[in-house]
Copies of this chain bind each other. A is one copy, B any other.
């Protein structure tokens, strides 16, 4: 087991606990902070398994548990579902001494985090991510949100959790495609922050695909530590440091939107987006010419796509329009996070549209 401390001002600092079979520790940790009631929000896919284990751990520590199940899938990140959960909390007379515990993947974490950020102007939330992408990325750092018909995560809040529990054993039962999708974010950490970790991923790709626990533990722990470090430097995306995490994501969001949500998993879109971003950087002379192929090779060995070939043709005009609308864009000009070498990226503004079209054309 490893405990990573995420250091922010005292009222917002917290531990990220990574380990095997640690769900039983949650009751003790939450109870130590004075919590006596907890709302356990889990999606239908995990509520009877991990959700129940978490609820039992809480009950064993004398905490009163109110279970809330939400439908599985991105559709739950909606105004309507947030409204339904707010209503359930109100009916249960939830107050600021009640804690929310989010058990599941990114959808549950984002929705439950947003509900916690906004109920009674903010109540504590604990994140218990049970997917790889949630363990290495979305559960850490306080970004919460829901979608609008016009776009993903358009509504949300920065709301740091009181703690994160990443149980590696929970990953054993993930569907293959969903598990592999999470590896895209792991590769991202190597590319943007840590050349040694990138090389380690190249050396251990086969074990990671096979979910070998030791390798998986290292990948989750290292990714979580890198994520925590950048959140410490830029909690609210103001200094620009946190923007590094959007490597591949401006492309990815456009792919997801244009393809229609659900056709591409988020990590698959990120994998293709990183490939585009690396080629764009090389095309601009910002990155050595051999790096895009090296990144593509690692991504492909992990079982992830590096091109849109499997998705079918997407309209370049539409993709460009979506990217210009991205909430990280500045007054609708195209901006991208681009690598300068393995382990370092920069935010590059005013990118020439013709170059982007060339990259999109493959």
Q: Secondary structure at chain A's binding surface: helix, strand, loop or mixed?
A: mixed
Q: State whether A122 touches B86 (Cβ < 8 A).
A: no
- A residues 125-177 with Cβ under 8 Å of B? 143-145, 148-151, 153-158
Pull 16 A–B residue pairs with CB atoms less than 8 Å apart, ordered by A.
A79-B83, A79-B86, A86-B154, A87-B149, A87-B150, A90-B151, A93-B325, A97-B330, A97-B331, A119-B154, A119-B155, A121-B145, A121-B157, A121-B158, A122-B158, A122-B236
Known: A121-B145, A145-B121. A154 touches B90 (CB 8 A): yes
Would you call A350 an interface residue if the criterion is a C-beta within 8 Å of the partner chain's C-beta atoms?
Answer: no
B contact residues around A120 at 8 Å (CB): 154, 156, 327
A309 to B108, CA, bound (A): 49
A156 to B150, CA, bound (A): 22
Smallest Cβ distance from A239 to chain B, in angstroms?
A: 11
Would you call A36 an interface residue if the criterion is a C-beta within 8 Å of the partner chain's C-beta atoms?
Answer: yes
Q: State whether B118 touches A86 (Cβ < 8 A).
A: no
A293 to B121, CA, bound (A): 36
Of A117, A148, A155, A236, chain B has the most CB atoms within 10 Å of the CB of A155
A89 to B148, CA, bound (A): 11
B contact residues around A122 at 8 Å (CB): 157-158, 236
Q: Which of B83, B143, B331 contacts A121 (CB 8 A)?
A: B143
Would you call A238 an interface residue if the criterion is a C-beta within 8 Å of the partner chain's C-beta atoms?
Answer: yes
Q: State whether A148 touches B86 (Cβ < 8 A).
A: yes
B contact residues around A158 at 8 Å (CB): 121-122
A148 to B95, CA, bound (A): 14
Would you call A332 an interface residue if the criterion is a C-beta within 8 Å of the partner chain's C-beta atoms?
Answer: yes
B contact residues around A155 at 8 Å (CB): 86, 118-119
B contact residues around A329 at 8 Å (CB): 95
A156 to B, closest residue via Cβ: B121
Smallest Cβ distance from A234 to chain B, in angstroms?
A: 12
A135 to B339, CA, bound (A): 50
Smallest Cβ distance from A78 to chain B, in angstroms?
A: 9
A122 to B154, CA, bound (A): 10
Beyond A90-B151, A121-B143, A122-B158, 16 extra complex contacts between A and B, CB < 8 Å: A79-B79, A79-B83, A90-B149, A90-B154, A91-B150, A93-B332, A95-B327, A95-B329, A95-B331, A117-B157, A118-B155, A119-B154, A121-B157, A121-B158, A121-B236, A122-B236
